[in-house]
Amino acid sequence: MPPRKSDSPEPGQAPYFVRSSGRGREEPSADRTTRSHPNAARTAEPKPARPAEGSPPRLTGRGGVLLIVVFSFAGTMIAHLASTPAVPGVAFTLACLATAALVRPNDLLSLSVSPPIAYFVAVVAAESLLALGNEGFARVLILGLASRLAEVAPWLFLGTALVLVVAVFRGLPGNLRTLGDELNGRK
């Protein structure tokens, strides 16, 4: 157990046992840094409230999932109108690439498990809309779902794999470590 500090923190600084704002791993505080490396004292710089100009916009995890649903729904409707079976798969794959590149790094974990579920929701909505007014709604819906999922299965695998690959390079392993730490009570 570390020794207890009896003195109060410096003005404007939180006590040593309180985490600063933010979820990621922090750099050591100046107090600890000066003990181990006397020339390595660092000052905390405030983070900008808005992203810098020229940086791409960032989506939340929910926004990314919604983007996948909207693209997949639109692709399914276009495929039905134009009789081209590849459109939903291409739309899904493009949406997966866009969301994996644009989502905030903290939301990569939730995004990486969501693409197949998001596609299923979009296809159920689209096929329900297409089955309206038909005699035997349930039969038409089930047959439409089965055929649509069967013809788009390779695209589902490709889109999901692309999300995982992009997410790994954008920081997914760090999110997994943080989740493991939180589940084990280390944070």
Q: Are 163 and 111 in contact (CB under 8 A)?
A: yes
Sign of torsion over alpha carbons 134, 139, 143, 144? positive
pLDDT value of residue 133:
83
Distance between CA atoms of residues 160 and 118, nearest Å = 11
Residue 166: closest CA among 115, 98, 120: 98
pLDDT value of residue 126:
93
Q: Where are the domains of the chain?
A: 61-178
Q: Are 137 and 129 in contact (CB under 8 A)?
A: no
State the alpha helices, DSSP H only, in 37-185: 61-82, 87-102, 108-112, 115-131, 137-170, 172-183
Distance between CA atoms of residues 63 and 69, nearest Å = 10
pLDDT value of residue 128:
93
pLDDT value of residue 142:
92
pLDDT along the chain (187 residues), means of 10: 55 51 50 48 53 72 93 94 91 94 89 92 93 88 91 93 92 87 83
Distance between CA atoms of residues 64 and 96, nearest Å = 8
pLDDT value of residue 98:
93
pLDDT value of residue 32:
47
Report how far apart, in Å, the C-alpha atoms of 31 and of each of 15, 28, 35, 38, 82 are.
11, 8, 7, 10, 66
Sign of torsion over alpha carbons 165, 166, 170, 176? negative
What's the angle, vertex CA 101, arms to CA 47 and CA 66, rounded to 5?
100
Distance between CA atoms of residues 5 and 86, nearest Å = 65
Phi, psi of 69 (to 5 degrees): -60, -45
